[in-house]
Amino acid sequence: MNVADRSERSGPLSDLLVVDLTHVLNGPYATMMLADQGARVIKIEPPDGDDARSFAPLGDTNGTYFNSINRGKESIVLNLKEIGDREVFLAMIDRADILTENYRPGTMERLGFSYEALRARNPRLIYGSSSGFGQTGPLSSFPAYDSIIQAMSGLMTITGWPDGPPTRTGTSLADLLGGLFFYAALSTALHARERTGEGTHVDVAMFDATVAFLEQGLVEYLGTGRTPHRVGNRHPFIAPFDVFETSDGHVTICCGNNHLFELLCGVLGKPEMVTDHRFSTNEHREIYERELREELEEVLMTHPTDYWLEVIHDAGVPVGPILNVAEAAHHPQTAARNMIITAGTTRMAGSPIKLSTYDDPSVRPAAPTLDQHGPSLRAEFTPPARPTAT
């Protein structure tokens, strides 16, 4: 499929043109979601390309990492400091619905492409900026990568084991949260434009997004004044809500209320625990969490994981296995939800956004090679030559 042909694209955003200056992860993740929903996304890259093109694993021309967050886009190389390329860019802006950029704040202004300047050309333009710390505040000009944001947001201090060091999550969570909020903000701005007829400047920060997702940690601090600490796999406020050892591995059990705890005690053959003063309420179970674990694991370690998964589930208690990435990728639920797809020659995660009135294809357009669409896009957007004076 020629992704430039709007007649061949489908989705709720198929009437939109997105001019995408973002690079690496958080911005491209957001614009990939726009492309998944049908938007035409033109990815503008510098002559040496998006840095992510060189990230491992290098499966083909682009690399699997780049492919996994840039499917369905077009690529053109533009040097925004050169007059001819600036004219092509501005011609795109004149027709665009959305501009996205994730440069360090101030970069677009220095290029002469501030929100005010581009709004003057296209009042309906939604100008999206995603950065580490946002467009305002004392850290706005600071460079940031995912690990910096995880460290500074407080996330690392509540991740890991009590006797271990601050720990980064196993995925680039701050980048991805920034991308998710970027997509949500751009979608919100599109709806606002339907009412007002005018665009707006969207300002999303990875730092803000990660602070917003601290959830339990931030709730505990703001509610009590106590700084939360690492608690491993257990829930800081609910028990039992943790990973427990069995005779051949581990199982995750979550009892979010007294009724579920009573059901668990029944299936474990320990009904007396329900009336034990140490475990009769969630508050008490939290205080005596270590003793609770010992009581539960004394029984759980008498049978293998598969046994407990079946009987605890049949009792109506939330329970689950611990899967590695390969097992999760091949799980029947993953297949049923179309969460592993193919784009070009690369297998990757599918879209978690499912809309009943639109297809969710298992084969999507590939990520572009560098400047793959450059000639056709230059032909489409190069302004006509001005007549020379005689």
Cis peptide before 240 (omega within 30 of 0): yes
Alpha-carbon distance of 79 to 371, in angstroms, equals: 12
Closest CA to 136 of 200, 201, 231: 201
DSSP helix/strand/coil, 98 = strand
Q: List 253's β-bridge partners, or say none.
A: 242, 319
Alpha-carbon distance of 40 to 35, in angstroms, equals: 6
Asked if 235 is an active-site residue, the reply is yes
Closest CA to 142 of 104, 177, 109, 183: 104
Sheet with 340-343: strands ordered across: 346-349, 340-343, 363-364
C-alpha dist (Å) from residue 298 to 179, 245, 268, 308: 44, 9, 10, 13
Exactly one of 235, 284, 303, 331 is catalytic; name it.
235
Alpha-carbon distance of 19 to 31, in angstroms, equals: 9
C-alpha dist (Å) from residue 368 to 64, 137, 338: 12, 36, 23
- Phi (first) and psi of residue 237, to 5 degrees: -120, -10
Alpha-carbon distance of 186 to 168, in angstroms, equals: 28
Token pair 């979010």 is found at 256
The neighbour count for residue 58, using CB atoms within 10 Å, is: 13
Catalytically active residues, by annotation: 235
